[in-house]
Structure 1
Amino acid sequence: MAQPPDDAAVEALNALVDQLMRTRAELGQAVERAHELVALRNSGHTWVEIVRAEQRPLIIERISQALDDLGVAGSRFRREEALALAREDVSITDISKMFGVSRQRVSTLVQEQAVPPA
């Protein structure tokens, strides 16, 4: 069966894939930076020297932002997927079992309006 061209769940999934790729790149850079920080510390620099010399955003800020952005994209896909399943007449109970969450959570998901992509 062909998918409708305006399938919001597919759009949300594509946005999630894009965000996953950005997150992977961000986290890869964070790994490299973490190794640099360890090397600086092991070479005798104090933490105050290291942190003061580090350019903004700090490593932890970059990681937090990357994970926040991924969470937004993941939530959007979950919501759109739940809505798509509901449109296909899958019960709230069955969706909750598929997602491993409560029926109340699924009910909230299908009642929320989809958030436009960032």
Structure 2
Amino acid sequence: MPMPIDRAEQDPAVRALTELVTVLDSCMAELGGARVRAEKLLEERQSGRSWLDIVTTESRPLVVEQISSVMAALASAGGAWRREQAYALASEQVSINRIAAMFGVTRQRISALLRERARTAHA
């Protein structure tokens, strides 16, 4: 049975998943740009330029900076989603063991996620 829209807007898991989708879209765009720039760097290297010359003339953010930024954004949004999803499942009386099996982690990791979620909810 679908969740009514007003309840969905108040659901922290829905908010976390919505934020994850937004971050994924942004990361995909950023990675597309990084890929184009990486191809340009390959062309420059294949034309005989030194790595020092290539990197010192590359505009910022560097490809490695873009990748680091994407990884940090995904870790943050993905972590928030994982915590909210674990909490939502636990709230539906799904056992920690079953959540752990679904997530492919240990029950201790799920317990830690639920504790983290409780701390962030009260902060």
- In the superposition, the TM-score normalised over structure 2's length comes to 0.88
Contact 2:13 2:84 in 1 (8 A): yes
Contact 2:87 2:117 in 1 (8 A): no
Structure 2 residue runs of 5 or longer lacking an equivalent are none
CA separation in 1, counterparts of 2:55 and 2:95?
52
Count matched residues. Answer: 116
Aligned to 1:22: 26
> Is 1:45 paired with 2:49?
yes
> Is 1:102 paired with 2:85?
no
CA separation in 1, counterparts of 2:42 and 2:98?
48
CA separation in 1, counterparts of 2:89 and 2:117?
15
Aligned to 1:57: 61
Post-superposition shift, 1:113? Answer: 2.9
Runs of at least 4 residues of structure 1 off by over 4 A?
none
State percent identity of aligned pairs.
Answer: 48
CA separation in 2, counterparts of 1:94 and 1:71?
23
CA-based RMSD: 1.4
- In the superposition, the TM-score normalised over structure 1's length comes to 0.92
> Which is richer in helix?
2
Q: Which has the higher contact order (CA 8 A, sep 6+)?
A: 1
AA at the equivalent of 2:49: H
CA separation in 1, counterparts of 2:44 and 2:106?
47
